[in-house]
Amino acid sequence: MYAICRSRITFVGVLLACVIWAAGAGCAPQAVDDHEGTPVEVRPGRVTDMAAFEAFIATRPTAEDFRRVYPDVMLVMRGDITTQEYRTDNSRYFARFDEAERITGGEFR
C-alpha cells in the first residue's frame, strides 16, 4: 500500500513539474537577434498584433529573420508555388523584396 501511494505522489509531482514548465519557460516568448543584433521577441502563431508586425517589417528583415520571429506564418517569396485558398487569419504573408533580398512590405492572403 505504501509503495502505491509513493508511486502516485511521484507521478503527480512529475506531472505538476511538466505543467509548470509548459506554462512558464516552455511556452514563454523567446528573444532572438535581428540582422542588426537587436533582440526581437519570437511571436508564435498567426499575426494578431498588426502594429508590432508592421514595425517589424519596417526594419527590413531578411527571410531568415522573418521565419525566426514569426515561425508559424508562411512566408511566400518570389517563385513560390502556393494554393489558391483565401486565408483571413494572417497566417500566410506574400512578401515584397528589395535588391538586397530584404522584406520591404507585402500582404496577407
- Phi and psi at residue 69, to the nearest 5°: -80, -40
Which has the closest alpha carbon to 35: 14, 63, 15, 7? 63
- Phi and psi at residue 51, to the nearest 5°: -65, -45
The domain segmentation of the chain, as residue ranges, is 29-108
pLDDT tens for the chain, residues 1 to 109: 555 555 555 555 555 454 444 444 444 444 555 556 666 689 999 999 999 999 999 999 999 999 999 999 999 998 999 998 888 899 999 999 999 999 999 999 8
**83, 96 contact by CB (below 8 A):** no
Q: The whole model's pTM is what?
A: 0.64
d(CA 91, CA 56): 16
Q: Which residue do the cell numbers 527571410 mark?
A: 63
